[in-house]
């Protein structure tokens, strides 16, 4: 049947069907009417069927595009590395270990939000010029998430710029990208003079600087604002009433209000202070906060979450046993029997924050919180109360609940799940949020730094370091197995598997080499500047469909041959391969760092096309103008 098809359609039938499948897949990814996972699996299944019926065989008669060969992409070390690093990154996010780093960067940038982002991107770009891009992006993803939250920007506005800056940084030195080293190895095999460490640093800096201007000032405007699309409800303006007790030794002890505000509580509005049984109302003149003071505050969910996850010496006073234990520990009192065991249990449990609403039939209506048995029956603590009709100025302990009130509740995920069957409250599913496990922060940071150090120094393969790091994050309790599995994005798994299968098909059927040689033939007789520019654009476009490594290996011999024929320095054309193969900005499958930011940025395939394609053409234009002058032709 295969021979009959070749007779009917010609000897290049498999090659043309490969082109058709690639174009169809790219269109399906771009229009997004079909889920990405389904598009990837349908594409993969289709090429498996096609090349089983019409096999591409080698000299021994073996099918080069057998199901085994096409499915090898799912065992690709690059894919496994990315997935494992997503787990490591999620461990860093959940432990909140980089919150301090974000605060330092914010302080450096001051009130200018995009100055902070610019500084971060420049630092990331420069580090990427010396280290592998992947661990660098893994380092900066949680930092960028924290910065975006601090300046009330969606993570989707900063994640793709982070990946682009890292890739641009990889163009500056020989070791900045694995693609650079592949081109250099190909030059050695061809008998050409290899690159030295800083041989293309000057043109690399020119291209990276031009690209960075677009990345900082234009790319965020083309990216969608996806705040809240994933259920992130921390960033909103709803105000809850909460009350916090100042523990002995807290930083707040001894502070005074300036103009009615406490600068140490910038994200909270203090509405009332209870001091030794007396009530103090704003502007709190002549009052210094003392240990044991109860602060009644109005705050957003985000601000309350920060209080719960940071060691500010504040505790919820409607749980008097916790307050008692804190005061006893500070005063040297012996803990009661069972206290230590209870504290350890609470410390090691997962914590989740959720909102619940009181229905008209709730038995909690009409009662004050401290007289209810809600905490005992549900195993959940009420952190805040929000009443839509008006803002309350009273202690939580004294508030009489009403139907329609929204309670901010903290508890173990199992207890939160059980609230679905609680008739006294309506669980608002969209409001679920896992709180950072801050007590694991130091161990998570140690694991993370170890992974980066081992991978960056090439002591162990990056995939080995990533898998060990992901396993360690689960082992120490920074992530549960369920949370680790959720960190693995199914879109990335299926898309990479399908993309690598298509790349294998392009190589086996001769589609990649046919395209390259066709362009060379079309440019016969053209000048070196024109040939160089067209070669760059061809590689830059293909690297977003094929892997960067494939383009480097495929085009380096072609580039050197073209330079020799034109009588120019072969390294000028080899540099074109280096820079063009790194221009994988227009699709998520083009480069691993794009895959890393796809999940935290909640990007679609179309987002990369819209925001990344202009960057490809900007780099192409700057390259075409600068490189001929730099190399003197």
Domain CATH number, residue 418: 3.30.70.1450
Nearest alpha-carbon partner for 616 in 210, 217, 118: 210
Residues 453 and 427 in one domain: no
Q: How many CA atoms lie within 13 A of 540 on its CB side?
A: 25
Statement: the pTM of the whole predicted model exceeds 0.85: no
Asked if the structure places residue 616 within a domain, the reply is no
> In the predicted model, what is the mean pLDDT of residues 564-592?
87
Residues 109 and 137 in one domain: yes
Residues 365 and 413 in one domain: yes
**SS3 (DSSP) at 592:** helix
Residues 83 and 216 in one domain: yes
326 pLDDT exceeds 50? no
Residue 609: what pLDDT?
A: 92
Give the domain range for residue 166: 77-230+441-491
Looking at every residue in the chain, the average pLDDT score rounds to 79
* Token output for 380: 């959940």
**SS3 (DSSP) at 246:** strand
* Token output for 537: 């654009």
Residues 82 and 221 in one domain: yes
85 pLDDT exceeds 80? no
For 371-405, write each residue's pLDDT tens digit. Answer: 888 888 888 888 888 876 566 666 777 788 888 88
Residues 289 and 363 in one domain: no
- Rounded Cα distance between 114 and 106, Å, is 10
For 46-65, write each residue's pLDDT tens digit. Answer: 999 998 888 888 878 788 88
pLDDT grade for 580, boundaries at 50, 70 and 90 = very high
Asked if the structure places residue 343 within a domain, the reply is no
- Rounded Cα distance between 314 and 299, Å, is 14
* Token output for 171: 């163009």
Residues 218 and 288 in one domain: no
pLDDT grade for 223, boundaries at 50, 70 and 90 = very high
For 544-559, write each residue's pLDDT tens digit. Answer: 877 677 677 677 877 8
Residue 1: what pLDDT?
A: 47
Residue 111: what pLDDT?
A: 63
Residue 118: partners with Cβ closer than 8 Å, 6 or more residues away: 109, 216
- Rounded Cα distance between 457 and 132, Å, is 9
The position carrying tokens 């803990």 is 335
Residue 333: what pLDDT?
A: 42
Asked if the structure places residue 477 within a domain, the reply is yes
Residues 111 and 200 in one domain: yes
Asked if the structure places residue 48 within a domain, the reply is no
> Strands 269-275 and 278-280, how do they pair?
antiparallel
Asked if the structure places residue 33 within a domain, the reply is no
DSSP secondary structure, 385-442, as one string:
EE-TT----S-GGGPBP-TT-EEEEEE-HHHHHHGGG-TT-EEEEEEEEEPP-GGGHH
Asked if the structure places residue 216 within a domain, the reply is yes
Residues 428 and 459 in one domain: no
572 pLDDT exceeds 60? yes
What secondary structure letter does DSSP report for 311?
A: -
Residue 311: what pLDDT?
A: 52
The count of domains in the chain is: 3
What secondary structure letter does DSSP report for 335?
A: P
Residue 316: what pLDDT?
A: 47
For 484-514, write each residue's pLDDT tens digit. Answer: 888 787 777 887 778 778 777 877 888 767 7
For 402-413, write each residue's pLDDT tens digit. Answer: 888 888 888 888
For 185-212, write each residue's pLDDT tens digit. Answer: 778 877 788 888 788 899 999 999 999 9
Residues 418 and 474 in one domain: no
The position carrying tokens 């120094």 is 457
pLDDT grade for 84, boundaries at 50, 70 and 90 = confident
Residue 615: partners with Cβ closer than 8 Å, 6 or more residues away: 164, 211, 214, 215, 219, 583, 585, 586
**Cβ(318)–Cβ(241) below 8 Å:** no
Asked if the structure places residue 14 within a domain, the reply is no
Looking at 260, 294, 329, the residue that finishes a domain is 329
Residues 285 and 366 in one domain: no
- Rounded Cα distance between 510 and 526, Å, is 25
Residues 109 and 180 in one domain: yes
DSSP secondary structure, 93-137, as one string:
HHHTTTHHHHHHHHHHHTT-HHHHHHHHHHHHHHHHTTS-HHHHH
Asked if the structure places residue 534 within a domain, the reply is no
Lowest mean pLDDT among 84-98, 164-178, 310-324, 528-542: 310-324
- Rounded Cα distance between 270 and 262, Å, is 8
Q: What are phi and psi of 43, to 5 degrees?
A: -60, -45
Looking at 291, 314, 329, the residue that finishes a domain is 329
Looking at 434, 453, 482, the residue that finishes a domain is 434
């Amino acid at each position: 049947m295969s021979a009959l098809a070749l007779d009917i359609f010609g000897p290049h039938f498999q090659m043309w069907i490969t082109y058709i499948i690639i174009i169809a897949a790219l269109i399906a990814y771009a229009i997004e009417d079909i889920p990405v996972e389904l598009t990837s699996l349908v594409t993969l299944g289709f090429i498996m069927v096609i090349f089983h019926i019409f096999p591409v065989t080698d000299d021994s008669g073996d099918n080069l595009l057998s199901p085994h060969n096409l499915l090898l992409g799912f065992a690709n070390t690059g894919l496994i590395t990315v997935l494992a690093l997503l787990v490591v990154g999620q461990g860093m996010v959940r432990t909140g270990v980089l919150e301090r780093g974000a605060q330092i960067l914010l302080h450096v940038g001051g009130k200018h939000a995009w100055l902070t982002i610019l500084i971060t991107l420049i630092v990331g770009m420069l580090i990427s010029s010396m280290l592998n891009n992947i661990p660098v992006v893994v380092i900066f993803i949680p930092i960028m998430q924290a910065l975006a939250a601090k300046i009330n920007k969606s993570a989707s506005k900063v994640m793709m710029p982070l990946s682009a800056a890292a890739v641009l940084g990889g163009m500056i030195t020989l070791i900045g990208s694995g693609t650079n080293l592949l081109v250099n190895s190909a030059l050695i095999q061809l008998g050409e003079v290899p690159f030295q460490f800083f041989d293309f640093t000057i043109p690399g800096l020119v291209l990276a600087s031009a690209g960075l201007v677009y990345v900082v000032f234009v790319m965020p405007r083309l990216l969608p604002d996806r705040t809240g699309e994933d259920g992130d409800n921390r960033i909103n303006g709803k105000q809850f009433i909460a009350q916090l007790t100042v523990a002995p030794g807290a930083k707040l002890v001894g502070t005074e209000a300036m103009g009615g505000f406490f600068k140490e509580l910038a994200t909270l509005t203090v509405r009332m202070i209870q001091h030794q049984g007396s009530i103090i109302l704003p502007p709190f003149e002549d009052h210094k906060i003392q240990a044991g003071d109860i602060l009644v505050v109005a705050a957003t969910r985000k601000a309350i979450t920060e209080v719960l996850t940071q060691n500010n010496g504040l505790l919820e006073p409607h749980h008097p046993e916790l307050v008692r234990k804190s005061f006893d520990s500070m005063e040297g009192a012996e803990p009661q029997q069972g206290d230590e065991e209870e504290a350890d249990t609470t410390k090691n449990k997962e914590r989740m924050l959720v909102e619940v609403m009181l229905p008209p039939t709730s038995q909690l209506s009409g009662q004050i919180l401290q007289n209810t048995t809600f905490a005992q029956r549900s195993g959940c603590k009420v952190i805040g109360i929000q009443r839509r009709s008006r803002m309350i100025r009273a202690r939580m302990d004294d508030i009489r609940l009403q139907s329609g009130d929204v309670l901010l509740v903290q508890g173990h995920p199992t207890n939160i799940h059980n609230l679905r069957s609680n008739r006294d409250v309506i669980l608002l599913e969209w409001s679920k949020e896992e709180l950072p496990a801050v007590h694991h922060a130091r161990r998570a940071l140690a694991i993370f730094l170890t992974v980066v150090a081992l991978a960056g120094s090439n002591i162990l393969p990056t995939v080995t370091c990533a898998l060990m790091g992901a396993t360690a994050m689960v082992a120490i309790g920074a992530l549960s197995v369920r949370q680790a599995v959720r960190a693995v994005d199914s879109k990335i798994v299926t898309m990479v598997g399908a993309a690598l299968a298509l790349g294998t098909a392009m190589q086996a059927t001769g589609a990649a080499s046919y395209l390259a040689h066709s362009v060379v033939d079309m440019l016969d007789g053209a000048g070196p500047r024109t040939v160089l520019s067209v070669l760059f654009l061809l590689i830059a476009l293909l690297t977003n469909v094929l892997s960067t490594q494939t383009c480097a290996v495929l085009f380096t011999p072609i580039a050197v041959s073209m330079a020799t024929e034109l009588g120019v320095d072969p390294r000028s054309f080899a540099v074109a391969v280096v820079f063009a193969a790194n221009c994988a900005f227009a699709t998520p499958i083009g480069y691993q760092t794009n895959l890393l930011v796809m999940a935290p940025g909640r990007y679609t395939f179309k987002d990369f096309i819209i925001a990344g394609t202009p960057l490809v053409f900007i780099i192409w234009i700057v390259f075409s103008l600068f490189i001929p002058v730099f190399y003197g032709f």
